[in-house]
Amino acid sequence: MRKSFAAVMLAATVAGATVVGVGAAQATTNGSGLGATLQSDADALQRYGAPGVLVELDTPRGDIRVRSGHGNVARRTPIAWDAKFRIGSYTKPFVAATVLQLAGERKLSLDDKVERFLPGLIRSNGNDGRKITVRQLLQHTSGLPEYTNAMTAMGTEEGFQESRLRTWTNAELVGLATRFPADFAPGTRWSYSNTGYVVASMIIEKVTGHTWQQEVRDRIVRPLGLRDTYLPGTTPTIPRPHAVGYQRFPGLGATPEDPRYGEPIDATLLNPSLAGPAGEMISTADDANTFLRALVTGKVLKRAQLAEMQRTVATDDNLRARWPGARYGLGIVWADNSCGGYWSHGGDIPGFMTRNGVTPNGSRSVTVSINTDSLKPDPGVRMPKADITTDLVDHALCNAR
């Protein structure tokens, strides 16, 4: 889920994977080539405030895994190689793929209006389900405002502590969103909206008679053998092993450019219903890569539905600044890189940041997990305009091995 609450080494070969150690502060890297490059990239992320970093690159010639920093800062232990982590908005491609499967089965059309399935749900402040299509929900062109705009208290440590274990229903999240005027008329602009995916999940449930979690599990997670991927619902814990998820909160005089973050707290325990179908899932780097490759190689969707997913529209200046050339499909982003471009969908949720990428032919994929989504750079270090993992993902996908 895109973060909006704050706006308020020694190398070894194991099972075919080149494994590089835990970072410059803990060991020295004697690896060479791409593994050494990725290790250097991972180490560099610590200067931006990443407590720990876990990276896995899958290639036809085997996997490369590197890690840096700490999964538990107090104990000075690294992130486990098989760590589970909250994937935030990387949940969205799972939800979009489920909707697209239903479209392929003719149980719905992407051009159906929300009102067909959820009559009367969206009918206030210029938000109108009679005018919003399923496609627009998945594409972020619905004009639905962000429900997180009503969760400003979560941007403070006190508010977060008070609300972190609260259970939210999807209907409640939609109700929060429709307190606000529509951002624009459906189909006339693009603006990232977690609310659209909440509504899409409700359509899944209406069409199938099952929870969206059950449909994602039965249609995607189990068929692909994603044994370490979870749809936790309201369960606040993360299966072990996992890193501590750290969260910082804005201080006095905070601005978007300088949030003046205080000291981090342990935000690992969290009821993920506040993110729901927009970002509740938990996975591992290995499973996350498996899904990315399966998605773009047609193992999840039939050709027609994959083509719909990869039909992109222009985004906005903010997204293009972080991911140059970014265009949005249905639950997936196309971005430029030094070897032509790649598909991706990252995710932020309190305590965790996920970044990833896969080549168009699915031959290489990379997943990066960082155990915070509130980055505070070292003194004198300026945050780049582009996403901090841009170089790492580019090196992973474009450098030969």
- Known catalytic residues are 89
Given a contact cutoff of 8 angstroms between Cβ atoms, the answer to whether 358 and 365 are in contact is yes
Given a contact cutoff of 8 angstroms between Cβ atoms, the answer to whether 398 and 390 are in contact is no
Whose tokens are 């969707």? That residue is 301
Q: How far apart are CA 88 and CA 86, in angstroms?
A: 6
Q: How far apart are CA 181 and CA 188, in angstroms?
A: 15
142-301-105-210 Cα dihedral, nearest 10 degrees = -70
Q: How far apart are CA 400 and CA 198, in angstroms?
A: 40
Tokens of 271: 């009821």
Q: What residue type is 331 in one-letter code?
A: G
Q: How far apart are CA 262 and CA 372, in angstroms?
A: 13
Q: What residue type is 367 in one-letter code?
A: T
Sign for the CA dihedral angle at 263, 269, 274, 280 comes to positive
Phi, psi of 357 (to 5 degrees): -175, 150
Q: What residue type is 16 in one-letter code?
A: G
Supply the DSSP symbol for 381.
Answer: P
Tokens of 178: 């429709």
